[in-house]
Amino acid sequence: MRKLPLDCLRPGMEVARPIYSAEGRVLLNKGVILKPYYIRRLRELGVPAVYVVDELVGDWEVQDVVSETTRLQALKLVKEVMEACRGKRSVGNGLIASPRVRRVVENLLDDLLGQREIMVNLVDIRAIDDYTFGHSVNVCILALITGITLGYRRSSLIQLGTGALFHDIGKTLVPFQILNKPGPLTPEEYQAVCHHCRYGFDILSCQEGITPEVAMVALEHHERYDGTGYPQGLRGEEIHEFAAITGIVDVYDALTADRVYRRAYLPHEAYEMLAGAGNFRHDYRLVRAFLFNVAAYPSGTLVQLNTGEIGVVLRTPRGQSYRPRVQLLYNKDGSILKEKPEIDLASEPQRWVSRVIPPGEKVGN
C-alpha cells in the first residue's frame, strides 16, 4: 500500500485502509474501488490523503502503533468532550476525570506497551475539519511513547496521557473562525489563540480528580526551552516535563498534518526541524527520547538511494530513524527489478536515502 494525496488519486485505484470521520463513521472502506464521485466527495470533506493498493509495492500493510478500535474510541471521546465544553468556561464535574477517560488512556498505553518495536509511521488520515480531535489523539499517543522511552511509571504515564489528550481543550473557547482562518492571524486574533492555554488550565483545574500535573500540560505546552513561548515565558526546567513533552509532540504532529493554511511537511522534514531545535526551542533530552521512536521515512514511502536505485520503505528499526529497511523496485537506470530485493540500510553504511520521491512524480522508464 501507499499513501497518496487526493490530487494523485485516480478512478480505479483500490482503497487499502479504511477512512473514518471523527464520529467513527466509515467514509470509505478497505477494498473500495475509487470512482470520480468518491474522490470529489473526499475533497469536499477535507480528507487530504488515502492509502491505496500499489501492485508494484506489493500487498503489505503499514502498521499503526495502536489498534484501529483503540484509536477510534479515543477519537470519539475527545470529540464528545470537546463539544460538551464548547463555549463554556466551566463544565460538569466528572466530564474529564471519569472512568471512561482513564479507560481510553489506559487502552492507548496498553496498545503501545504491546507493540514496543513498531516505529511511529503516521498512518492516521484525518479530515481537515476534524483536525483538533485527531491531533489530540495523536499528541496523546506520541507523548505516551516518549514517556515510555523515558522510563515513566504507569501512574505517571496515565497522568501524562490524560494531559496530552486534553492539552487543547481551551480551544473550545476560541472562535472557530479564528482557529480555522486560512490566512495570517491579526495580532488580536493571535492573542485570542494564545488564551487557550489558560482557558484549558481553568477547565481542567475545576474538575475533581484531575491533578495539577494534568492541568499544567494545558497551561504550559506552548512554553519553550529558551523562554520564547507563552503564556508565561518560562524557560528550561521551569516548564513541567509533562508539558515540555506534549509541546514537542504537538509541534511534530502539527507540522506533519495538512492545515487550511498550508500543506503538511514531509515526516523527515519535521524530524529534522525538531532535531535542530534541541536545547534551543526544546529540551534535547526529551526530543531525543521522542525521535528515537519516529520513522523519518514512514513505511510505504518511495525513496531514492545515493546509488540511484529507487525503492519503498518497509519498516524502520527503533533508534535507526534514517536507516530503514527498503525493498528495491527500480535499478539506477530506471528499469524495474524483477527480483525486488530487500536491503537493510542499518547494516549497509555505503547506501543511504538521498531523497524522498514526491507522490505523483513519474519513476522508472
Instruction: Say whether pLDDT at 21 is over 80.
Output: no
Which residues lie closer than 8 Å to 158 by C-beta, 6 or more apart? Answer: 102, 105, 106, 109
pLDDT classification of 318: cutoffs 50, 70, 90: confident
Instruction: Grade residue 1 by pLDDT with cuts at 50, 70 and 90.
Output: confident
- pLDDT at position 40, please? 92
* Alpha-helical regions (H) of 153-240: 154-165, 176-179, 187-194, 196-205, 212-220
What does the block give as the cell for 42?
A: 473526499
d(C-alpha 123, C-alpha 346), whole Å: 23
Query: Percentage of the chain surpassing pLDDT 90?
Result: 59
- Residue 151's pLDDT is 96
pLDDT score of 159: 97
For 1, 221, 301, 324, 361, the CA distances from 34, given in Å and listed in that order, are 15, 40, 21, 31, 20
Long-range contact set of residues 266-272: C-beta below 8 Å, sequence gap at least 24: 266/356, 267/122, 267/294, 267/295, 267/296, 267/297, 267/298, 267/301, 268/296, 268/297, 268/322, 268/356, 271/296, 271/321, 272/296
Which residue do the cell numbers 525513496 mark?
303
The whole-angstrom separation of Cα 111 and Cα 107 is: 6
Return the percentage of the chain with pLDDT > 70, whole number: 95
Q: How confident is the model at residue 139 (pLDDT cuts 50, 70, 90)?
A: very high
**Model confidence pTM above 0.75:** yes
Q: Is residue 207 over pLDDT 70?
A: yes
pLDDT band at 261 (very low <50, low <70, confident <90, very high): low
**214-242 pLDDT tens trace:** 999 999 999 999 999 999 999 999 999 99
Per the structure block, which three cell numbers stand in for 59?
500487498
pLDDT tens for 320-341 read 999 999 999 999 998 989 888 9
Q: Are 134 and 22 in contact (CB under 8 A)?
A: yes
pLDDT of 259 over the 90 cut: no
Looking at residue 125, its pLDDT comes to 59
What distance in Å separates the CA atoms of residue 354 and residue 342, rounded to the nearest whole number? Answer: 17
Does residue 343 or residue 50 have the better pLDDT?
343
What pLDDT sits at residue 124? 60
CA neighbor of 69 nearest in space, from 22, 117, 19, 24: 24
Q: Is the pLDDT of residue 128 over 60?
A: no
Judged against a pLDDT cut of 80, whether residue 85 lies above it is answered with yes
**How much is the average pLDDT of 162-181?**
93
Residue 246 confidence class, pLDDT cut points 50, 70, 90? very high
Report the C-alpha gap between 267 and 339 in whole angstroms.
29
Q: 265-303, pLDDT tens digit by residue?
A: 888 999 999 999 878 999 999 999 999 999 999 888 899
The structural domains of the chain, ordered by start, are 2-52 (3.90.105.10), 68-291 (1.10.3210.10), 302-356 (no CATH)
